[in-house]
Amino acid sequence: MENLEQIRSMLIDYAPKVVGAILMLIIGFMIIGWVSRLVSKSLQKRNVDESVRPFLVSLISVGLKVVLLLAVAGMFGIETTSFVAIFGALAFAIGMALQGSLGHFASGVLILIFKPFKVGDLVEIGGGKVGSVEQIQVFNTILKTLDNKRLIVPNSLVTSNVITNISGQGTIGVELTFGIGYGDDIDKARKIILDTGKSCEYILENPAQGVVVSSLGDSSVNLATRPFCKSEHYWDVYFYMQENVKKAFDREGISIPFPQMDLHMDNNN
């Protein structure tokens, strides 16, 4: 009976605190969500870089949640100074265990400071990861690939690899190589490539497109060209030229060599 009385007494003492803590957490998280949205809209109105906004909002949200947890702990009589000390020790231990995540965070800060790219840029990150930048988050950079996949790249992998900002200069040259047979007319093939370029609405007149012999291969004469376009039309030009040069070569009788093997039969046996 005495134990039951103690349990009942504890329930009477702590029940209001538990209910209050739960309500405080629910209301607190709702307020934090509202504040985060308000901050995001405020940053947007102030024309803060779209790359920076999610990063700042995420930091503010995490900071407010830590303050809320400290306040809830204080409701149960836990000394906040002691709690902060314990939290600091835990944060240090967790930090040591999550060095990789801290590296991603530091890399995210570097990306926002030095801005090798911004949201909307078409980039290639070392390892062949190509896509448009959708978000620069605290730990990851989100890319949208050409085939509409969502590519999540840890920030430390971004900063530790070569970054090619395809959109960085506003205009870009599209590197293309077309192989023709050794018996085909180089000047005729050059004219076909240039005429195809002129028919593409995305290719710029300045700088002018040129066609040169880049190499003499084992089975083909390789012609290189570099039409320039606006960065956002890179893939439009690339696919247009690939398809329409092939069609024009077919119409004009220009061959495109491909690997083949000749077999010689010995009839003496």
Is the per-residue pLDDT at 54 higher than 90?
no
- Per CATH, the architecture of 171-252 is what? 2-Layer Sandwich (3.30)
**Tokens for 259?**
């690997």
pLDDT one-digit tens code per residue, 195-204:
999 999 999 9
Pick from 167, 166, 229, 160: which is nearest to 200 by CA? 229
The domain made up of 8-97 has a fold known as Helix Hairpins (1.10.287)
**Of 66-75, 139-148, 248-257, the least confident:** 66-75
Is the per-residue pLDDT at 82 higher than 60?
no
Is the per-residue pLDDT at 263 higher than 50?
yes
Pick from 59, 72, 51: which is nearest to 119 by CA? 51
Spatial contact of 223 and 212, defined as CB atoms under 8 Å apart: yes
pLDDT one-digit tens code per residue, 105-151:
777 777 777 778 888 888 888 767 888 888 887 778 888 887 788 88
**Of 79-93, 105-119, 195-209, 230-244, the least confident:** 79-93
pLDDT of residue 94: 52
* The amino acid at 17: K
- Name the E strands within 92-128: 122-125
pLDDT band at 98 (very low <50, low <70, confident <90, very high): very low
Mean pLDDT of 60-85: 70
Domain locations in the chain as residue ranges:
8-97, 116-165, 171-252
CA distances from 252 to 44, 184, 198, 220, 258 (A): 55, 10, 17, 17, 18
What order do you get walking across the sheet with 211-216 strand by strand? Answer: 176-180, 221-225, 211-216
pLDDT of residue 97: 46
| pTM of the predicted model as reported, rounded to 2 decimal places | 0.52
pLDDT of residue 179: 93
The domain made up of 116-165 has a fold known as SH3 type barrels. (2.30.30)
pLDDT band at 154 (very low <50, low <70, confident <90, very high): confident
Give the other-Cβ count within 10 Å of 203's Cβ: 21
